[in-house]
Amino acid sequence: MGLNARTILVLGGILFVCVSFITFKPSPPKSSPSPANLEQSQQPTAPLVRQPFSDPPPIYSEPLLDRDIPRPAAIPVEAVGVYDGAPEWLLNTVAIISCNLGYLDMLLNFYCNARKVFPINLLVLPQDEELYEFLSVNATQFSVLHPSVFSFHSANEASLWRSEAFNDISVGKVRAVRYLLQWGYDVWLSDVDIAYKSNPIPHFAGDVDFEFQSNAGCKGQEFQLGEEPNTGFYIIKSNPRTIRMLLDVEESHPRRPDIDDQTLWADILQEWWRSEQAVLIPSNVTDVKSYIQDLNFDEEPFTFRQLPCVKFPIGFDYFR
């Protein structure tokens, strides 16, 4: 299929090359471009009309899932639902990006590009005070939460790939997603090094716990043991299984501080898959509930799907 038919360009490969040789230095916030200036020709879309968020009753009874984590008074109502007119299964979903000031230019580029394609309602989770302060003043199009809400402790600079600082940033995203899941939200996460060519949502099935872009590229087969999900682009549902998996990822980080979140997550997923705690839903399955019942699991497994690789190629595949 030609380039024009592809839905999404994920530039993870490009970012890998860039950050392997360069440590980005952020421009001072006062001289950085404002999203408002970058979107002068674009009319803002009306916010979603939806009831304000109220805390759901606790639904997780396992002690490990019942941690007393700080909760914001409310996730901004305009940040819930991804975009006006989105499919019903996304009504409790927040579309998030999390980074520090060092990736400000990428963040602004992501947002301006995405808004040209579809009216995304973006929740930004700054990982340092400087980015939070800049966005709070200059980026009224974003919904922004303070870094302390998610216990971020990132530096305000971009970092070399797989450096300790880089891994802290990447695992910080996992923790932020887990918090949102524990508050009862589903999460659509995109990294800042992504550009959309069209709305990607119609290509999600929306019927599994975890739906992701494969980092293995297009090999004409289903996702395999040993391959990695790309943790820079996925949708994950809120339930005890997903929360437990993200806790496993977080808790493996101190033991392996030299490893980034994607590799940690891939290793945990493979462990669950081998032990039959998780099951891959093949691309041709349309009735997930019946498929799981036929497999006769003792307990409901963690379900996951790979997004179609032709529509969601990794960066290196796109430019071959």
More confident residue, 203 or 18: 203
- What confidence tens digit (pLDDT) does each residue in 32-42 have? 444 444 344 34
Q: What angle do CA 231, 53, 152 make, to 5 degrees?
A: 40
In a domain, 46, yes or no: no
Q: Which two tokens stand for residue 233?
A: 């682009």
Q: Which of 87-91, 174-178, 316-320 has the lowest mean pLDDT?
A: 316-320
First to last CA, the chain: 13
Q: Is the pLDDT of residue 19 over 80?
A: no
- The model's pTM is 0.76
For residue 243, the one-letter residue type is I
Question: Could you list the residue range(s) of the whole structural domain that residue 265 is in?
Answer: 3-24+65-318
pLDDT of residue 40: 43
Kindly state the tokens that stand for 247.
């806790």
Residue 52 resides in a domain: no
What is the rounded average pLDDT for all residues in the chain?
A: 76
pLDDT band at 219 (very low <50, low <70, confident <90, very high): low
Question: Residue holding tokens 């001072």?
Answer: 28
Assign 79 a pLDDT band (cuts: 50, 70, 90). confident
Q: How many independent structural domains does the chain possess?
A: 1
Residue 176 pLDDT > 70: yes
Residue 200 lies in a domain: yes
Check residue 87 and give its pLDDT: 92
Reply yes or no on whether the pLDDT at 234 is more than 80.
Answer: yes
Q: Which residues contact 109 (CB under 8 A, 6 or more apart)?
A: 192, 195
Provide the pLDDT confidence category of residue 292 given band limits of 50, 70 and 90: very high
Residues contacting residue 82 through CB under 8 Å, at least 6 positions apart: 90, 93, 94, 95, 120, 121, 188, 201
> For 99-125, what is each residue's pLDDT tens digit?
889 889 999 999 999 999 989 999 999
Angle, in degrees to the nearest 10, between helices 261-274 and 240-252: 120
Residues 179-208 pLDDT 10s = 999 888 999 999 998 888 889 999 999 999
Distances in Å between the Cα of 161 and the Cα atoms of 90, 130, 139, 170, 270 are: 32, 22, 28, 10, 23
Q: What is the pLDDT of residue 161?
A: 66
Residue 11 lies in a domain: yes
What's the 3-state SS for 113-155? HHHHHCCCCEEEEECCHHHHHHHHHHCCCCEECCHHHHCCCCC
CATH number of the domain enclosing 160 = 3.90.550
3-class secondary structure, 306: strand
Count CB-CB contacts under 10 A for residue 279.
20
14 confidence band (pLDDT: 50, 70, 90): very low
What is the predicted pLDDT for the residue at 315? 58
Is 53 part of a structural domain of the chain?
Answer: no
In a domain, 55, yes or no: no
Confidence at residue 239, expressed as pLDDT on a 0 to 100 scale: 93
**19 inside domain:** yes
Between 48 and 169, whose confidence is greater?
169
Whether residue 14 is contained in a domain is answered as: yes
Query: Looking at residue 205, what is its pLDDT?
Result: 93
Band the pLDDT of 31: cuts 50, 70, 90: very low
